[in-house]
Structures are given as structure tokens and as C-alpha cells.
Amino acid sequence: MRTRSRIAGVSKPVIRYVLILAVLALAVSHYTVWPPDTMLMLTLLVCAGLGQFRAFTRHLVPFIVLFALYSVASSVADDINPNVHYLPMAHFDEWLGGGRLPTSHLQDLLWNGHVRWYDYYFYVLYTAHFVAPVVLALFLWKRRGQLYWSYLASLGLLSLSAFLTYVLFPAAPPWMSSSYGYIEPIHRVSYDIWTAVGIDSPDTLYSKLSPNLVAAVPSLHSAFPLLIFLFLVRSFGLRRVWWAALYPVSMWVGVVYLGEHYVFDVLCAIAYTAAAATIGTALARRFTPRLPSPDGTTPKAPSAAPPKVAEVPTLTRTSPAEAPQD
């Protein structure tokens, strides 16, 4: 009996993990890019399989719902305001680049008509746009719970402020402005990378990655890596994770080189991220006592102070000589 129970105790987790891996492998084979709703279902499956269903619903569902709402809102932002801006960002970049776009300078230096290893490097970073924030959220949830709600608030404010900017100031990326003749000709390196990895219809892929084609200012592809780096520093300290700064810096260089964003877009993303992290952290500190704690329990309200006990008069002894006489 003991042997049978031991075998059963081992086999159940193994079967559970095998099933999870099988479903994930099936999903990967059918989705070149995971939309937020697909990511929600896969994460729900993994957490439920690991026995974390209740904790997931209390902590991570709000996070994934945030991404889903942003994806839906971003896809309609360009329908709200059709006045697309093509030149303000380009004029700033031309001033910064001494009369030429920094994109042109980078492509003269790095692009020679063939896809190189660094092109794939920039491509992987670019397509990890939605995956990296989820990975950090999982880490903070399990290992740095005191930072989780600060991170979620900062990410929410960053996404909301970006969405409002997309509505008020629709901005075309460099590749679109170049294709319409507003700026000097630049090469869209992303198309060559997608073709090199076997994607037959790059336009279809890009519509999944970016449903709003005129959402360039600020560049969230540049903002999310910086936010991730800031919270890694808060988790481990700058001395231990200084090397992680390579992630946002590489993304900034990559989006400009690929022709997806101007330097102007990247600078706006840095400013937006700094403001969102500051305000989001302040809001989280104020409301964290009302939110679920990392272990899945709801924090209890501080107990009321114990009632004051009435003071008892001090009894003094009197000497026999001072005692009242009958």
C-alpha cells in the first residue's frame, strides 16, 4: 500500500506537467504571435495545473485583463482621431541627426542588404513586447510580492497614458512616413527578418503585433523594457542587475534601426515611464493595505486600540500613629 501511494503521489504531478507542456506545445505550433486573450488562457492553464488557480485569479487576472483591454482599446484608437501626424517627429530627429534621420545613420552602419545575427537579436526583443512584462509579473508575484502592486499600477498608468496620447496625437512610424514620401527613403528591415524566418505574409503578422499602425508616440516597445529594468533594480539593487540595462538600450537602438520608431518616440517613452513608475508606486503604497497580499490572503484591518482601563486610586498605608482614634 505504501509503495502504491508513493507511486501515485509521484505520477500525478508528472502527468500534470506533461499535459501542460503538451498543450503549450500545441499552442505554440498554432500561434506565431500570442494575442493577449490567448496568453490569458495559457497562463490560467499553467497556474491551475500547478495548483495556483485561486492565487492566479486574485493577482494575475487583473494583470492579463489590463493587456487585453489595452489591445482592444489600441485597435480602435486610430478610428477616433483620423488626423495622423507624419512630420513633427521626423523634424526633431533630423535636427538631432544633423540633417539626416538617425534611422538612416544606423542603417548605413548596420544594414548591407542581408539579414545578420544582430537583426535577429533586435527581432526577438521586438516580438517579446507582451511576453517580457508577464514574465516579470510572475516573478514579482512569487518572489517580490511587496513590489507586485506597484508594478501593476505603474504598468497600468503607462498603458493608459500611452492610449490617451494615441487618441490625441496619432503618429506615423518612420517606415510609414517613408512609404508615403514624407521623409527620406528608409529600408524596413523587419520585413526582411520576417521573410528570413519563413513568414509568408509580414503584413498579417504586423497587424497582430500592432493593431494600431499610428501608435508611435510614445513607443511602448521602448517603455516596457525600461519599466522592467527599474523594477529589477528595485528587486535586486543596481550592483547586481546593472547588466540588465542592455535590454532597454538594445530595444531603443533596435526600434530606431528597424525603422519602427523615431528617437523622438523613444525619448517620450522614457519620460512616460519615469512618470508612471513614480506615480504608480505612490498609489500602490497608499492602497496596498486594501489589496490581496502575495500569499493570497486579504490583509486584515488593523485592530482597534485596547480600551483604556480606568485608573485605580493608589492606596497608601498609614502608620499606627496616624490611624484615626475612636
* Segment 55-64, tens digit of pLDDT: 666 666 666 6
**pLDDT of 190:** 84
- The burial of 193, by beta-carbon neighbours within 10 Å (0-12 exposed, 13-18 middle, 19 or more buried), is given as buried
**Sequence-separated (6 or more) residues with CB below 8 Å from residue 167:** 77, 80, 81
From residue 57, alpha-carbon distances to 26, 132, 133, 285 in Å are 24, 20, 18, 22
- Burial of 220 per CB tally in 10 Å (0-12, 13-18, 19+): buried
Residue 231 banded pLDDT, cuts 50, 70, 90: very high
- Decide if 45 contacts 141 (C-beta within 8 A): no
List, in order, residues 6 or more apart from 71 with CB less than 8 Å away. Answer: 35, 36, 211
Distance CA 62, CA 202 (A): 31
Phi/psi for 13 (5° steps) reads -60, -40
Which of 15-19, 60-64, 137-141, 306-310 is predicted least confidently?
A: 306-310
How much is the pLDDT for 126? 87
User: How many CB atoms are closer than 10 A to CB 268?
Assistant: 23
Q: What is the pTM of this model?
A: 0.73
| Residue 177: closest CA among 77, 263, 83, 261 | 261
> Average pLDDT, whole number, for the chain?
77
Which H or E run includes 12? helix 2-30
Q: How far is residue 137's CA from residue 132's CA, in Å, rounded to a whole number? A: 9
**Residue 319 vs residues 14, 227, 312, 324: alpha-carbon distances, Å:** 84, 78, 22, 10
Q: Could you tell me what percent of the chain has a pLDDT over 90?
A: 39
Please report the pLDDT score of residue 12 as a whole number: 58
Q: Which residue has the higher pLDDT, 294 or 171?
A: 171
**C-alpha distance from residue 199 to each of 173, 176, 188, 209 (Å):** 22, 20, 15, 14
Q: Which whole number is the average pLDDT over 285-307?
A: 57
Report the range out of 24-28, 127-131, 196-200, 205-209 with the highest average pLDDT.
Answer: 127-131
What is the per-residue pLDDT for 8?
47
Please say if the pLDDT value at position 128 is more than 90: no
Asked if the model's pLDDT at residue 87 lies above 80, the reply is: yes
Q: Which of 36-45, 76-85, 190-199 shows the lowest per-residue confidence on average (mean pLDDT)?
A: 36-45
pLDDT at residue 326 in the model: 47
Q: Give the tens place of pLDDT for each residue, 114-126.
A: 899 999 999 889 8
Is residue 132's pLDDT more than 70?
yes
